[in-house]
Amino acid sequence: MTETTAATPAVSTEATDRVIIFDTTLRDGEQCPGASMTFEEKLEVAELLETMGVDVIEAGFPIASIGDFESVAEIARRSKTAIIAGLSRAALNDIDRCAEAVKQAKRGRIHTFLSTSPVHMKYKLQKEPHQVLEMIVASVTRARNHVEDVEWSAEDGTRTEMDFLCRCVEAAIKAGATTINIPDTVGYTTPQEYEALFRTVRERVPNSDKAIFSVHCHNDLGMAVANSLAGLAGGARQIECTINGIGERAGNAALEEVVMAINTRRDVLPYRTGIDATLLTRASKMVSGVTSFPVQYNKAIVGRNAFAHESGIHQDGMLKHTQTYEIMTPESVGVTKTSLVMGKHSGRAAFRDKLKALGYELGENALNDAFTRFKDLADRKKVIYDEDIEALVDQGIAAAYD
């Protein structure tokens, strides 16, 4: 096997705390049932991702359809700063098609992958390990003939036998891969295991420092974000993720959660990204809108309740100091303000505050009376709007004049 010099990574990670954000909403995200987007919608999402500061946008799987090819090519043509990646299997015609799609990008990447786990090699590929190794060398070499920036992924990497995984990674780096991704394709790993996997591979593989290591985690056991962050501790410096965590089956690691975990807990997660977090809510709404996938109310960072407080104790605390029940500000993710939702759990302090915001200054007796009637209403009605509160105060005032 001849050694090819790995290309200089397109995003500098010289400062070792810089994490590359690779967004795959338009590829892995779009792959989940019901999430398909139109050509225009994909362009709109890609534009916002680039404005947000996403480093790498995986725009699609060019061989999959003419539509996919055209959207990757157009996103590549319009790109200004982001690297535009296309996915391809380890087949030479796939790779050539992908190269054609990304060629107009200022910075194009070919992302090629092959399964390496025993179960995938035996049943899916029906190939022997030595054949898989040959295919890795051939596919990465072909991709490097087209572009300098080549990512290679060991599909089902976390269920791959360690010695073989190291041989595959070594072969990919020798053939010229500049990024090595070890995906947790089926969402099977745990944070401790995933961190150890990266440490071991990076220690054992010669010239591992020539490539940037990447995490790609699925959420089948709800650990995608935790696993991704653990991968960083093991030396990975690229995170593959999607807006709202959409993706195959239970989805991928959610971009907004990864970014805000890093921004909020720098004390224990000593990294930084290039993402403008104030655009996270807008991106979440856009992706939810174009895919028609609702965002669960209690979704971290971007769910409708992420900055809402209803219980009396919490509302009272929030009125005294916002840090009592909020670890990040709503403004930091693009939400205008915290909402103190009025409901049956709300207390007198929040009720008084709400009245003040609505322009009412009631004396103690009128306040007590209004509060009793508010509690009564809240027992009957799930959502209390400002208009409901105004109506009950106005009724009280009118009754006082009868």
Task: Report the interface residues with Zn ion, using CB under 5 A.
Answer: 28
Mode of pairing for the β-strands spanning 149-155 and 20-23: unpaired
Alpha helices in 147-234 (DSSP H): 162-175, 191-204, 224-233
Cβ proximity to Zn ion: between 23 and 28 the closer is: 28
Cβ proximity to ligand KIV: between 109 and 309 the closer is: 109
Q: Of 97, 174, 210, 216, which one interacts with ligand KIV (CB under 6 A)? A: 216
Taking alpha carbons only, the member of 217, 120, 216, 107 closest to residue 161 is 120
Contacts of 274 (CB under 8 A, 6+ apart): 18, 21, 53, 55
Q: Which run of H or E residues covers position 88?
A: strand 83-88
Cβ proximity to Zn ion: between 28 and 257 the closer is: 28
For position 28 contacting ligand KIV by CB under 6 A, the verdict is yes
Cβ proximity to ligand KIV: between 246 and 306 the closer is: 246
> How many residues sit close enough to ligand KIV to count as binding (CB under 6 A)?
9
Task: Yes or no: say if 84 and 109 are a contact pair by the CB < 8 Å rule.
Answer: yes
**CB-closest chain residue to Zn ion:** 28
Minimal distance, residue 216 CB to ligand KIV, in Å: 5
Task: Yes or no: say if 367 and 382 are a contact pair by the CB < 8 Å rule.
Answer: no
Task: Yes or no: say if 139 and 116 are a contact pair by the CB < 8 Å rule.
Answer: no
For position 42 contacting ligand KIV by CB under 6 A, the verdict is no
Site string for ligand KIV, 165-184 (x = CB under 6 A): ----------------x-x-
Distance (Å, rounded) from C-alpha 72 to C-alpha 111? 13
Give the pair of three-digit tokens for residue 252. Answer: 């991928």
For position 108 contacting ligand KIV by CB under 6 A, the verdict is no
Q: Of 153, 158, 219, 338, which one interacts with ligand KIV (CB under 6 A)? A: 153
Distance (Å, rounded) from C-alpha 334 to C-alpha 281? 6
Cβ proximity to ligand KIV: between 167 and 218 the closer is: 218
For residue 146, say whether it is annotated as part of any ligand binding site: no
For position 194 contacting ligand KIV by CB under 6 A, the verdict is no
Residues that bind ligand KIV (CB under 6 A): 28, 113, 153, 155, 181, 183, 185, 216, 218
Which positions make up the binding site for Mn(2+)?
A: 28, 216, 218, 252
